[in-house]
Amino acid sequence: MSSVQLYDTTLRDGAQREGISFSVVDKLHIAQKLDELGIHFIEGGWPGSNPKDIEFFNKARSQALPHSKLVAFGSTRRPKAKAETDANLLALASAGVEVVTIVGKSSELQVTQVLETTLDENLGMIADSIGYLKAKRLTVFFDAEHFFDGFKANPDYSLRCLVTAAEAGADCLVLCDTNGGTLPNEITVAIEAARKATNVLLGIHAHNDSELAVANTLAAVSAGVTQVQGTINGYGERCGNANLCSVIPDLKLKMGIDCVTDEQLAKLTEVSRYVSEVANLVPDAFSPYVGTSAFSHKGGLHVFAMSKWAESYQHVDPTQVGNLPRAVVSELSGKRNILYKAKEIGLDLPVKGKEAQKLLEQVKLLESRGFQYENAEASFELLLHRAKPDYQPPFELVDFMVVIEKRRRLPTRKSLEETLAEAMIKVRVGTEVMHTAAEGKGPVNALDQALRKALLQFYPNLAQVRLVDYKVRILEENVGTGAQVRVLIESSDGVEEWRTVGGSTNIIEASWLALADSVEYWLLKQKAQQEKER
């Protein structure tokens, strides 16, 4: 097979995932990204169902999509109604697109139990609806809903639905595993029967309820379908849809089907993360191909092999999908992990020297005290820099003290109480020692404010750095309040984000270590950037 059409339904089926609600602007921006990725068909929504989708299609008419065609989605006419007066079909016809997809039942039980109509009436609904839209000179895809479940129960009727759609003029028959319970071998059998029943192009729309949506999609392509439907990151109702971020590279890199260009494939990771950001969902770090951990290597043996042969523990080159390899450093790592990470940031440690071994022993010691570097690469990078004999930190801690005090509010709010946190800190910058104090909403906030007060006069750009996440994990629950704790801080300057870690039996000390690392890391990066620009 030389080509496969990519059909994305993130904006409609993907938006049915719990917690997702795209605005019209969101949908327009995502459509632009999907076009850059090389998607052939972008399903924009259901114009007959809600005002938001109507507005989207009105605004999308003026949006340039050089690679993609916008698709409007709807359903067949209602039972015992006329296609030319059906509000849903009228909305599809006036959506301003060249391609429409209509969904219709292709399962006997769905017709009798859900639609509560006759099998012949359902066939009439399919034929009338497609015929009406074809008369409007539209390209029509027919989504055969519940096809595979219907085929298992009554294959003759499910195939009759396909034949009826084909005879009415459908341009593609999309076979839907709507409940997501079909196995790959069952997919193949049903598609072979569909190919014998009609000559119209076939497509696949697989849901992931059995964790088989991608596998079923690839099995369908091997069986002869030429259109694959799915969503970015597999978003969708219940367990989601076939994940196009896996399907696309599987088709191109594994099956040799050039569904997108090399340049478009290299945008895959960017598009995945963009859509998750717009959806306000945390990207899945362990997602194949596009996750931050998809090409991460933690075991020392793995990194040792990777340093000799990049393909030893990677099934594809991560740059092909816009991702990067990572070596993770932990107590399970070997010296090669240290060397690999040092090389990444431009530090040349001798392979046969003692520096890497000493750093590895330091990592193992610190991790026994609560630190963890695999999710705090900024702290590990600082560890590497601090190992250099000529390293000069931008500031050094002399001392700090935090006071927590319970105070009554003013009499007008006497029913409430306020806890006051105040931090006093001494830091050395060059030859100067700064002694500052600040109040905060809590001890960590007070430390942060006091540190900034001391450093801003030396580093005014530090004002743009902010803490965006703060996590505390108790490492030894059975020890109770005396347990080791790990603090992970995520910071941002509005452009980049980085994570730092601190560990101690004292939660304030652990927080300080992570906080100080965050500031030092950013100042170090700023210095390197300034030197580069000179």
Token duo for residue 54:
């109507």
This prediction's pTM: 0.72
Q: What is the distance in angstroms between the CA of the first residue and the CA of the last residue of the chain?
A: 54
d(CA 242, CA 126): 26
Would you tell me how many other CB atoms lie within 10 Å of the CB of residue 463? 11
What separation in angstroms does the CA of 167 have from each of 171, 175, 372? 10, 16, 63
pLDDT tens by residue, 195-205: 999 999 999 99
Separation in Å, CA 379 to CA 3, 356, 372, 374, 519: 47, 16, 9, 10, 10
On whether the CB atoms of residues 39 and 6 are closer than 8 A, the answer is yes
Which tokens is 87 given?
A: 């509000």
What pLDDT does 374 receive?
60
Q: Which residues of 162-173 are buried (b: 16+ CB within 10 A; e: fewer)?
A: bbbbbebbbbbb
Say yes or no to pLDDT of 314 above 90.
no
On the 0-12 / 13-18 / 19+ scale of CB atoms within 10 A, 106 is buried
Closest to 387 in 3D by CA, of 435, 450, 329 = 329
Mind listing the pLDDT tens digit for each residue in 157-192? 999 999 999 999 999 999 999 999 999 999 999 999
| pLDDT tens by residue, 260-280 | 999 999 999 999 999 998 898
Domain assignments of the chain as residue spans, ordered by start = 5-278, 297-348, 369-387+465-534, 395-458
Question: What's the number of CA atoms in the CB half-sphere (13 Å) around residue 244?
Answer: 34
5-278 and 395-458 share one CATH topology?
A: no
- One-letter identity of residue 517: D
Owner of token pair 């940031």? 345
Give me the architecture of the 395-458 domain, per CATH: 2-Layer Sandwich (3.30)
Give 338's pLDDT tier (boundaries 50, 70, 90).
low
The structure tokens listed for 77 are: 């006419």
349, two tokens: 């440690």
Instruction: Residues 5-278: name the CATH superfamily.
Output: Aldolase class I (3.20.20.70)
The residue to which tokens 């107590």 are assigned: 331
Contact 27, 59 (CB under 8 A): no
Cβ atoms of residues 365 and 372 within 8 Å: no
Please, what CATH class does the domain formed by 369-387+465-534 belong to?
Answer: alpha beta
Say if residue 415's pLDDT is above 50.
no
Does residue 1 register a pLDDT over 60? no
